[in-house]
Amino acid sequence: MKRFLIIILLFMPSLYIAAQCFIAIRDNRYAQLGYDWKSGWSITVEHSIFSEEFKYQYVRLEGQYEKSVSEKLSFSAMPYAGITYCNNFYNWGIHIHATCRLLTWLILEGSFNLHYDSDYKYGTCYMGGIKTGICRDMALILKYSTIPEYRIKEKRFKLGLEFNVRNLMVSPVVSLPVDKSMRNFRMLFGMKYYFGANKI
Amino acid sequence: MNKMFLDIRRLLLIICLLIGGTACSDDGYGNLIFIGDSHVERWDLAVFFPTRDVTNLGKYGAGISWIESHAGMGVGQTIVVMIGTNDVVNLPWDQFDKYAERYVNALMDLNAEHLMLFPILPRCAAGDSDDMIERIGEINGKIKSKVEKTIISYINVYDTFLKENNLNMDYSYDGLHLNDAGYEVLSEALKKEMG
């Protein structure tokens, strides 16, 4: 019991710190831990969950600044750099994202991703799409993207759903190749959970 | 600007080394070029080799002439080959020796630094002859015996795909093309070969 109380007492200050912490999963294979400042800045550490040996796992550091220009328009810029433990490749770049709420139920999204990979070299990638509300907690997503899901720049359509309930966002997406066999579709899963304050 | 990214890269590398302590050098295989028929074309390499530099030169319906057309491309490269299932359908039994000779010559003409070869996998597609498994087994045997005298690494997954003298349908959805479980077998065997 004593130990239990000590753990609770030690944990209490972290509840305050955790008010702007989030955990997330990107594209099935990447786990994220991040921290948001109210000023619009955030920092994220991402780690891969590949079915590979540990030395081939990938770790990435991301910083982000988000700015709302008006109620309808916001921008964000996210520089990042990542590397595998055994240094068999590294990549870095910047992801610039814009979101425009055209109607209460319709959001237009666009991204530019200036991306460098140590093997595939430099590539300019982009994404454009819409998000349309189906009901209060659910939206339909339709995107065209060339931003790498892994390392390779690929042309893909993405069709999926986004559920937002309090601090939790969950997004299952089907990723369909444009110039390859349709058999190479991928079922992708993403989620984000904010501890404390309602951020979603 | 470049210096800043170099510093970030160094910092990340140091973090990785501190956390993982598993520093390794390049394993010597570099980027992987996959060449072959629809088995290769449908292989989602980005998913199965997420940290590798991979190129997919798979082509639906391709036969050994597809490999021959890439002669000389492999200088200093690691090439993974999977080809032959489209040739074996109409090949007369008395041509097997000649075909195996042509097959191995085509592989050698790639001039690859490392060359890894998968066998022709068993198949039971609609319209296949009753002796298809015997035909594939016979040709694989001839190719394997010729390959043993070369630098080619033969990744023998044939028996894994065989069940009761037929294609193991756990790894295929139509008797010819592989499903994700089938590609997982191929990917793991290749990773094991590369150490």
Per-residue pLDDT of A155-170, as tens digits, reads 999 999 999 998 999 9
Token pair of A193 as six digits? 């959970």
pLDDT tens digits, one per residue of A79-100: 999 999 998 899 999 999 999 9
Q: Specify the pLDDT at position B27.
A: 72
Of B24, B42, B47, the CB nearest to A181: B42
User: How many C-beta atoms surround the C-beta of residue B33 within 10 A?
Assistant: 20
**Max Cα–Cα distance, chain B, nearest Å:** 66
Contact A186 B47 (CB under 8 A): yes
Residues of A in contact with B9 (CB under 8 A): 81, 83, 90, 92
Residue-wise pLDDT tens digits, B158-167? 999 999 888 9
A35-54 tens-digit pLDDT:
998 889 999 999 999 888 88
Here the ipTM equals 0.72
Question: How buried is A121 (Cβ within 10 angstroms: 0-12 exposed, 13-18 middle, 19+ buried)?
Answer: exposed
Helices (H), B118-160: 132-147
Work out how many CB contacts closer than 8 A connect A with B: 85
Q: Which pLDDT score, from 0 to 100, does residue A88 have? A: 87
**End-to-end Cα separation, chain A, in angstroms:** 37
Amino acid symbol at A200: I
User: How far is A107 from chain B, CA to nearest CA, in Å?
Assistant: 30
Identify all chain A residues contacting B15, using CB atoms and an 8 Å cutoff: 59
The whole-angstrom separation of Cα B158 and Cα B189 is 11
Q: How many CB atoms lie within 10 A of CB B68?
A: 15
- Which residues in chain A have Cβ-Cβ distances shorter than 8 Å to B24? 55, 86-88
